[in-house]
């Protein structure tokens, strides 16, 4: 959830990585050492320049050449130091990104939190995990290093400039103060605009991905124009916001360029009179101008980095919001809290006085339901559409927990739910059958997979697809009925104790449907089905009929069929 300040947003995202020892600390020390070395080199360069120009002014060739070679030596020594700074910074960014992405992913995936992160809590979590984390690590390091560099430069050149001209030092401080205040005023709006831009870009991309995922359905409706309207409206909103960014950016840049150009003139205005009256040499005048530039550069870090500040601030609050939502979900994940259905492990499914509500608590779907299933028994849930049949399955599987009473069930690893839409993971054909276990590590021999495929009438699939190692977009290639049969193959390969079938055969012909039920019944698993086809009732021994408003009836199948 939104935290109160930018500071607490920053702490929430930064602290977890840096509060424990890691490789990142090694890279950070390396980076700081390089930064110190670069600051030292800059001071050396300033003095070398001064000596070169003074020798030039005095037409002292020997001193000139001596100092020029010294200058060249300093520049040469600085090559590996300056050159490796960016590389070390990138290594640190990568280490941090790796840790932060894994940390957020672990929390997102734990306890099936990704199901609870709904779009009204957080928009586009995928973009936050992939893009925001990456930008965050890069930009916070860019800014931190710029601030530190500025601080060191200020310390170094403030003394040099003071020794040459205290007036010029005062001018530098006033000059950069004016610049910073003006930039803050100009750029304030940019932070909010960048935040909105991130969201609008992500929404536009999500809509494009959504269209691709549903291409066939949209194609069948011949709704390209209708979809295009939605997409173009999003594009227009995105561009409208971008237009505001560009305008504000233009103002900021106009100011920045004026400010930067004056930098050439202002030190000359103050240092030249000192030179002409003989108070300073040419070398000192050159050094004063470059020191003035360095001090302004240091003090104007806010101006130079304003866009990065604006973007970083937007990204930090997006990441902090996301982490906040995860924290909230973790805190609420205590199954024993009030208004939560209690769960306990048992060898079979048993409900004790279960009342199930929708997650928002707005509706009660089932009231005071109690039953206990014997091993191998088979229950079918019936009732009109929208009454709460799938919701009960969700509650049995532990996804929905709002309500009261208790559910006793086997460990989730001993259960399998087959929904109407079979999920096909990205990966090989083998992965489709061994899911949710990882394809090559699950210890299921290919010969066994092939045997089960024959049972579910998918024997030809392996040959047609190019073998069990073939990788394709399976959701697009397989028909809904084939996907349902893949799910049954999965079920038979994992032999769970409790099977929950939610319209899992809705796309199959009557013969195939009967076949699937015969196979599952033969495994001896306890079965809870949701199905509209009357033909399936005979495969079960009890019917649980749900009535709108939370009512229910438990009836033996033979009585129900009379």
Give me the residues that bind ligand ATP (CB under 6 A), please. 358-360, 365, 385-391
Least distance (Å) between residue 386 CB and ligand ATP: 4
Rounded Cα gap, residues 241 and 229, in angstroms = 19
DSSP 228-295: HHHHHHHHHHHHHHHHHHHHHHHHHHHHHHHHHHHHHHHHHHHHHHHHHTTSS-HHHHHHHHHHHHHH
Tokens in use for 16? 């977890």
Residue placing its CB nearer to Mg ion in the complex, 83 or 384: 384
Q: Which lies closer to ligand ATP via its Cβ, residue 90 or residue 404?
A: 404
Q: Shortest CA distance to 4 belongs to which of 324, 331, 330, 326?
A: 324
For the bound state, the minimum distance from the C-beta of residue 501 to ligand ATP, rounded and expressed in Å, comes to 13
β-strands 342-345, 403-409 pairing: parallel
Structural tokens at position 313: 């601030």
Long-range contacts of 78-86 (CB under 8 A, 24+ apart): 78/38, 78/41, 78/45, 81/34, 81/37, 81/38, 81/41, 82/38, 82/41, 84/34, 85/31, 85/34, 85/35, 85/38
Q: What is the DSSP letter of 370?
A: E
427 binds, among Mg ion, ligand ATP, none (CB under 5 to 8 A by kind): none
Residue nearer to Mg ion on the CB measure, 385 or 479? 385
By three-state DSSP, how is residue 540 classified? coil
Nearer to ligand ATP, 84 or 333 (CB): 333
277 contacts which partner out of ligand ATP, Mg ion, none, CB within 5 to 8 A by kind?
A: none
Element at 219 (helix H, strand E): helix 215-220
β partners of residue 379: 528, 542
Instruction: State which residue, 256 or 394, has the beta carbon closest to Mg ion.
Output: 394
Report the partner that residue 385 touches, choosing among Mg ion, ligand ATP, none (CB closer than 5 to 8 A by kind). ligand ATP
Q: Between 317 and 390, whose beta carbon lies closer to Mg ion?
A: 390
Tokens of 11: 């702490």
Cβ of residue 316: shortest distance to ligand ATP, in angstroms?
A: 30
At closest approach, how far in Å is the CB of 13 from Mg ion? 39
Q: Residue 537 corresponds to which tokens in the numbers above?
A: 């009732």
Tell me if the bond preceding 436 is cis, omega within 30° of 0: yes
Residue 358 interacting partner from ligand ATP, Mg ion, none (CB closer than 5 to 8 Å by kind): ligand ATP
> Backbone phi, then psi, for 407, in 5-degree steps?
-120, 125
Least Cβ distance, residue 318 to ligand ATP (angstroms): 24
Strand 364-372, strand 350-357: pairing: antiparallel
- Work out how close the CB of 336 gets to ligand ATP at its nearest, in angstroms, rounded to a whole number: 22
Q: Which is nearer to ligand ATP, 43 or 381 (CB)?
A: 381
Q: Which does residue 388 bind out of ligand ATP, Mg ion, none, counting CB within 5 to 8 angstroms by kind?
A: ligand ATP
Looking at the Cβ atoms of 267 and 388, the one nearer to ligand ATP is 388
DSSP annotation of 373 reads: P
391 binds, among Mg ion, ligand ATP, none (CB under 5 to 8 A by kind): ligand ATP
Shortest approach of ligand ATP to residue 392 CB, angstroms? 7
- Binding partner of 26, given ligand ATP, Mg ion, none, CB within 5-8 angstroms per partner class: none
In angstroms, rounded to a whole number, what is the distance separating the alpha carbons of residues 238 and 197?
Answer: 7
> Which residues form the interface with Mg ion (CB under 5 A)?
390
Q: Which does 359 bind (CB under 5 to 8 A by kind): Mg ion, ligand ATP, none?
A: ligand ATP
Q: Which does 464 bind (CB under 5 to 8 A by kind): Mg ion, ligand ATP, none?
A: none
- Tell me whether residue 489 is exposed, middle or buried, using C-beta atoms within 10 angstroms of its C-beta: 0 to 12, 13 to 18, 19 or more: buried
Of 142 and 358, the one with the shorter C-beta distance to ligand ATP is: 358
**Least Cβ distance, residue 502 to Mg ion (angstroms):** 6
* Least separation in angstroms between CB 387 and Mg ion: 9
- 360 makes contact, choosing from ligand ATP, Mg ion, none, with CB < 5 to 8 Å by partner type, with ligand ATP
Q: Which of 114/204 has CB closer to ligand ATP?
A: 114
Minimum distance of ligand ATP from residue 405's CB (angstroms): 17
């Amino acid at each position: 959830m939104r935290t109160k300040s930018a500071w607490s947003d920053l702490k929430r995202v930064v602290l977890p990585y840096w509060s424990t020892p890691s490789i990142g600390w090694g890279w950070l020390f390396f980076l700081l050492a390089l930064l110190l070395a670069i600051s030292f080199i800059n001071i050396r360069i300033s003095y070398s320049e001064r000596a070169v120009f003074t020798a030039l002014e005095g037409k002292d060739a020997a001193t000139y050449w001596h100092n020029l070679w010294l200058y060249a030596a300093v520049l040469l020594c600085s090559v590996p130091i300056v050159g490796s700074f960016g590389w070390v910074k990138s290594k640190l960014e990568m280490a941090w990104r790796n840790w932060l992405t894994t940390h957020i992913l672990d929390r997102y995936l734990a306890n099936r939190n990704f199901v609870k992160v709904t779009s009204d809590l957080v928009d586009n979590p995928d973009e936050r995990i992939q893009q925001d984390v990456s930008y965050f690590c890069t930009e916070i390091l860019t800014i931190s290093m710029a601030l530190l560099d500025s601080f060191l430069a200020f310390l170094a050149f403030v003394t040099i400039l003071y020794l040459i001209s205290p007036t010029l030092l005062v001018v530098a401080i006033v000059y950069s103060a004016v610049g910073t205040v003006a930039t803050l005023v100009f750029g304030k709006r940019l932070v909010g605009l960048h935040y909105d831009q991130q969201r609008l870009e992500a929404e536009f991309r999500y809509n494009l991905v959504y269209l691709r995922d549903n291409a066939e359905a949209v194609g069948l409706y011949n709704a390209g124009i209708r979809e295009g309207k939605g997409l173009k409206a999003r594009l227009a909103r995105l561009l409208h916001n971008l237009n505001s960014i560009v305008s504000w950016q233009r103002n900021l840049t106009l100011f920045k360029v004026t400010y930067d150009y004056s930098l050439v003139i202002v030190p000359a205005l103050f240092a030249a009179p000192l030179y002409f009256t003989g108070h300073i040499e040419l070398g000192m005048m050159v050094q004063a101008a470059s020191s003035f530039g360095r001090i302004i550069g240091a003090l104007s870090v806010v101006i130079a980095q304003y866009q990065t500040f604006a973007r970083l601030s937007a990204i930090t609050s997006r990441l902090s919001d996301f982490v906040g939502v995860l924290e909230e979900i973790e805190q609420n994940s205590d199954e024993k809290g009030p208004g939560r259905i209690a769960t306990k492990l048992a060898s079979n499914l048993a409900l004790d006085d279960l009342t199930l509500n929708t997650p928002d608590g707005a509706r009660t779907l089932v009231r005071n339901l109690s039953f206990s299933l014997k091993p191998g028994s088979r229950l079918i849930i019936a009732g009109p559409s929208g009454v709460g049949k799938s919701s009960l399955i969700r509650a049995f599987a532990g996804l929905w927990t709002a309500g009261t009473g208790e559910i006793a069930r086997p460990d989730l690893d001993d259960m399998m739910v087959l929904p109407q839409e079979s999920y096909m993971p990205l990966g090989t054909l083998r992965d489709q059958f061994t899911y949710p276990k990882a394809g090559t590590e699950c210890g299921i021999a290919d010969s066994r997979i092939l045997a089960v495929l024959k049972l579910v009438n998918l024997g030809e699939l392996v040959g047609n697809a190019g073998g069990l190692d073939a990788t394709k977009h399976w959701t697009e290639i397989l028909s809904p009925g084939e996907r349902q049969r893949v799910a049954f193959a999965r079920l038979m390969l994992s032999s769970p104790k409790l099977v929950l079938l939610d319209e899992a055969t809705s796309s199959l012909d009557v013969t195939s449907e009967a076949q699937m039920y015969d196979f599952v019944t033969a495994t001896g698993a306890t079965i809870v089905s949701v199905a509209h086809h009357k033909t399936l009732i005979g495969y079960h021994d009890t019917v649980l009929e749900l009535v709108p408003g939370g009512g229910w009836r438990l009836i033996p199948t033979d009585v129900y069929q009379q």
